[in-house]
A and B are shown apart, each in its own frame.
Chain A
Amino acid sequence: GAVVSQHPSRVICKSGTSVKIECRSLDFQATTMFWYRQFPKQSLMLMATSNEGSKATYEQGVEKDKFLINHASLTLSTLTVTSAHPEDSSFYICSARAPSGQETQYFGPGTRLLVL
């Protein structure tokens, strides 16, 4: 099956610093990846759609200058939380759309961010 990895699995940082999270599709090429945010006991909330070689598409209410997304290759998308604040603490999960012909998304294991 399709495997998606994320790094780091958890990160603690000071308020005001920036944090980069990597999402990799390990055994397939993903032209489209997605970034989600999840609060405890809640469903996944889509933040943005990351397209290889082009700008990301952000959902309403998500600040593009705050959450920088780069999809420089067919197997890697990165999310950078800039000038992080305690309210940015959350569980961030990426997913990758399966190879063409399958409308299925495979999710990474998630990154737990804690901003102090």
Chain B
Amino acid sequence: GQQLNQSPQSMFIQEGEDVSMNCTSSSIFNTWLWYKQDPGEGPVLLIALYKAGELTSNGRLTAQFGITRKDSFLNISASIPSDVGIYFCAGLRNQGGKLIFGQGTELSVKP
């Protein structure tokens, strides 16, 4: 099925470093969601964005809904070992529609 273009696919960073990942699309989305998935678990919602240009923080995480409605990024500041996991972006085109997922970004943090 159709997916969002999420990058990078994987990241290997040192504890304390900042992380940035993004998702892009050729079409417009009205909602952007960022999830984190640990091995063997379901995705956990990190941040939800509902308005173009919206910038939202959740602790060390910050996400923005691109002004063109075709992209979103997620930043993690001062990474810690428990940030390890796979991060997915997901977009909704219209109310009541289906979530379209990115391919995921696998984050590894070296203590």
Contacts and interface: CB of A to CB of B under 8 A. Distances in A.
Interface of A: 1, 4, 6, 32, 34, 42-46, 49, 59, 91, 93, 95, 102-110, 112
Contacts of B48: 102-104
B61 to A, nearest CB: 15
The 8 closest A-B pairs by CB, nearest first: A107-B42, A110-B42, A103-B31, A43-B101, A109-B42, A107-B43, A93-B42, A104-B48
20 contacts: A34-B99, A42-B103, A43-B3, A43-B102, A43-B104, A44-B43, A46-B1, A46-B98, A49-B98, A103-B48, A103-B96, A104-B31, A105-B33, A105-B99, A106-B45, A107-B42, A107-B43, A107-B44, A109-B42, A110-B41
Interface of B: 1, 3, 30-31, 33, 35, 40-45, 48, 50, 88, 90, 92, 95-96, 98-99, 101-104
Contact of A93 (B31, B43, B92): B43
Report whether over half of chain B's contact residues are helix, strand or loop; otherwise say mixed.
loop
A108 B1 CA distance: 22
Contact of B40 (A43, A45, A59, A110): A110
Nearest to A107: B42
Given A103-B96, A104-B48, 4 more contacts: A4-B42, A42-B103, A102-B48, A110-B42
Contacts of A46: 1, 98-99
Contacts of B42: 4, 6, 93, 95, 107-110
B25 to A, nearest CB: 14
B43 A104 contact: no
